[in-house]
Copies of this chain bind each other. A is one copy, B any other.
Amino acid sequence: MSVEHRPQGPLQDSPFLRACRREPVPHTPVWFMRQAGRSLPEYRQLRQGTGMLESCTRPEMVTEITLQPVRRHGVDAAIYFSDIVVPLKALGLDLDIKPGVGPVVAEPVRSEADLARLRPLEPDDVSYVSEAIGMLVKELGDTPLIGFAGAPFTLASYLVEGGPSRNHERTKAMMYGQPRLWAALLERLARITSTFLQVQIEAGASAVQLFDSWVGALAPEDYRRRVMPASASVFEAVAGYGVPRIHFGVGTGELLGLLGEAGADVVGVDWRVPLDEAARRIGPGKAVQGNLDPAVLFAPREAVEEQAGRVLESARGLEGHVFNLGHGVLPDTDPGALTALVEYVHQRTAR
């Protein structure tokens, strides 16, 4: 597991991987969270008649969906098309992704007995992932592929609530009221997530992003005591591969330093904190990723470029900046606006 899998040659010298390692780049690399998926008509066409989780188990479909935004927008990295609940589904949990709702868990996890259902993930449980990534790295050539997993807190919220939750009441009730059960749940999820990322790296992913979508709902002290140990063990489990580890959650202004401390090499930032201030909070030795407000893409092109320019301005002088949105591409985004944005960032930062 701790073998050095770092690829050699032009892939390793791609602007994205160089920026993650805080090395000089020919232009600021760009990719978009949720670039693969719902905003693209070619995606919606391909997905017709296939459920979300079903589509994640079909290597050809995953490969095509992952490649679509690379072809269309000319982004500097591909992100493996998946969903954060894919490894949980692979364990045999009864869950589904309902259109317009999100992941729904038939039997929420709320007791010690429920933990038994969270057995360790075996690489064979997700052989379709290895297969898809094998196909993808051939197709992508020198374009890096970012592996993808949900972080323990966000997975726990779905499992405890039984679905998406605005306020995470039951999750927090367990966190505060049953701290031992909570810690055991997070530890199991950390192991599952670690295996899921190891599988992706061993199959050829040249970076990974750990999404902790909802972690911004926590105060810093609770994150540090009750969540960070689990996230840190995931980063530690993939440290030996030498691939950049990106960490992101929305609304995490108060947590940026801790997200880095958990073990990330690159910390994703939403649009609420300017990148120079974010870098100050994260501290030295880490790259930053972000942070254009995805809602800006609904404004005219001139306004998009003004705001994107502001992001680039705030990143000037930072060691290692990967341009991205401050959250996922919104479903109704005009794909043309994304393509134009990639061009703008490339031109504006060409050295």
Contacts and interface: CB of A to CB of B under 8 A. Distances in A.
A335 interface: no
A295 B221 contact: no
Report whether over half of chain A's contact residues are helix, strand or loop; otherwise say mixed. helix
A101 interface: no
B299 A177 contact: yes
A304 B173 CA distance: 9
Interface string A166-205: 0111111101110000000000000000000000000000
B173 A298 contact: yes
A229 interface: no
Contacts of A273: 219, 254
A44 interface: no
A173 B272 contact: no
A138 B294 CA distance: 50
> Counting chain B CB atoms within 10 Å of each CB, which of A254, A272, A330 scores highest?
A272
B272 A330 contact: no
Interface string A295-315: 110111001101100100000
A342 B147 CA distance: 48
A216 interface: yes
Copies in the complex: 2
Interface in A194-233: 216, 218-221
Given A251-B251, A303-B177, A170 B274 contact: no
B169 A298 contact: yes
A303 B226 CA distance: 14
A218 B295 CA distance: 11
Given A216-B272, A272-B216, A298 B172 contact: yes
A330 B274 contact: no
A221 B274 CA distance: 9
Contacts of A303: 176-177
A271 interface: yes
A114 interface: no
Nearest to A328: B167
Given A176-B303, A177-B300, A295 B167 contact: yes
Q: Which 6 residue pairs of A and B lie closest in terms of their CB atoms, listed nearest first?
A: A173-B298, A177-B299, A176-B299, A172-B295, A176-B303, A169-B298
Interface of A: 167-173, 175-177, 216, 218-221, 251, 253-254, 271-274, 293-296, 298-300, 303-304, 306-307, 310, 330, 332
7 contacts: A168-B295, A172-B299, A176-B306, A177-B299, A221-B274, A221-B310, A253-B254
